């Protein structure tokens, strides 16, 4: 069973907010940081290839929003979360 977390980072200045994609499986943690919410799927693809875990092994998906003022990033990541939940669960 694998857990997937999308962590929206706090922005240091105006502009794109980075997102950290975290995959946890069997006490192993894989991390991939992307420079904007638009690149989250690319980061997810990299982390799945690096960990050699299939997306179907993911049983939990969560969005950890550290920066509540970044509504666009939050909406993008939340939409990805919903789409993955529909497909996987």
| Residue 68 pLDDT level (bands cut at 50, 70, 90) | low
pLDDT given at position 67: 66
Looking at residue 80, its pLDDT comes to 95
- Which residue, 51, 60, 47, is CA-closest to 19? 47
Specify the pTM.
0.89
- High-pLDDT (> 90) share of the chain, %: 67
Domain boundaries, the chain: 2-88
> Which option is the CATH number for 2-88: 2.60.40, 1.10.20, 3.40.630, 3.30.420?
3.30.420
């Amino acid at each position: 069973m694998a857990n997937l977390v999308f962590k929206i980072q706090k922005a240091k200045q105006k502009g794109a907010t980075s997102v950290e994609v975290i995959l946890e499986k069997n006490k192993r943690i894989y991390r991939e940081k992307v420079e904007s919410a638009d690149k989250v799927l690319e980061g997810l693809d990299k982390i799945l290839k690096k960990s050699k875990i299939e997306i179907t092994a993911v049983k939990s998906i969560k969005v950890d929003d550290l920066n509540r003022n970044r509504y666009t990033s939050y909406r993008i990541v939340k939409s990805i979360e919903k789409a993955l939940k529909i497909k996987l669960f």
